[in-house]
Amino acid sequence: MTRNSIIISGVMLLVFGFIYADTFTKEDVIRWQKEFDAAAKYGRQLWENSASFKLGTNNVACAQCHPNATNTHPETYPKFQKQLGRVVSLAEMVNWCIINPLEGKPLKLDSKEMVALLAYIHSERRGVKLAPGKH
């Protein structure tokens, strides 16, 4: 390292002080958790009131067959879905349900709604060991 670059680095350090890429505070963690909780809460609303959010076209709600998001088994995905003959993600199965029992159009995989549904499903399955591929 040249003398100049050391000086420049020193100046930069003085100017930008204590900013480091992965430093965070307790407040940050609380805020981020709140962001997740808000997504899961929105997911629960979509789950219960699927019709008012126009997930489907026939008034059927996710919660009718999956109370508390049970029988979704998020811990087992991705897995070989025998009915489809390939390894799929949970999001694809969510869309399968939206297309079939709910008679709706699939969500974009990175849409706010899909992410919220996944957040809700996972939040109801806290503490269950990951078991990717399990049937």
Partner 1 sequence: MSRDISRRTFLGRSALGAAAALLPVTLVNVVFGQKKGGAAQKAKAAGDKTDFTFAYISDAHIQQISGNKFVRNWDQGLKRAVAEANLLIPRPDFVMFGGDLGQLGKKEELDHGAEIMSACKYKTHYVMGEHDFYLDMGACWEKLFGKQYYSFDHKGVHFIVLNSILTYDSWNKKWPSAMERMVQMAGLDNPLGSPFMVGEAQRKWLAADLAKVDKNVPVILFSHSPIQKIYKGWNFWTEDAEKVQALLKPFKKVTVIYGHVHQIQYNQIGNISFNSVMATAWPWPYPQSYALAKSSLPVLTVPMNRADPFFERDATGWQFIDVNSGKVAANYLLTDNENRTVKYNRKTGRPEDVKYQNKRTAAQEHY
Q: Output 26 or 126, the one with its CB closest to partner 1.
A: 126
* Binding positions for partner 1, rule: CB under 8 A: 48, 57-60, 63-68, 70-71, 73, 83, 96-97, 100-101, 124-128
Q: Output 3 or 82, the one with its CB closest to partner 1.
A: 82
Q: Contact at 8 Å (CB) between 44 and 99?
A: no
Q: What whole-number distance in Å separates Cα of residue 135 and Cα of residue 77? A: 9
Q: Output 24 or 36, the one with its CB closest to partner 1.
A: 36
CA-based nearest residue to 117, from 60, 59, 46: 46
CA dihedral (43, 49, 55, 58) positive or negative: positive
Residue 100 CA, distance from chain mean position: 22
Nearest distance from residue 112's CB to partner 1, in Å? 23
Q: Output 41 or 66, the one with its CB closest to partner 1.
A: 66
* Rounded CA Rg of the chain: 22
| Beta-ladder partners of 87 | 80
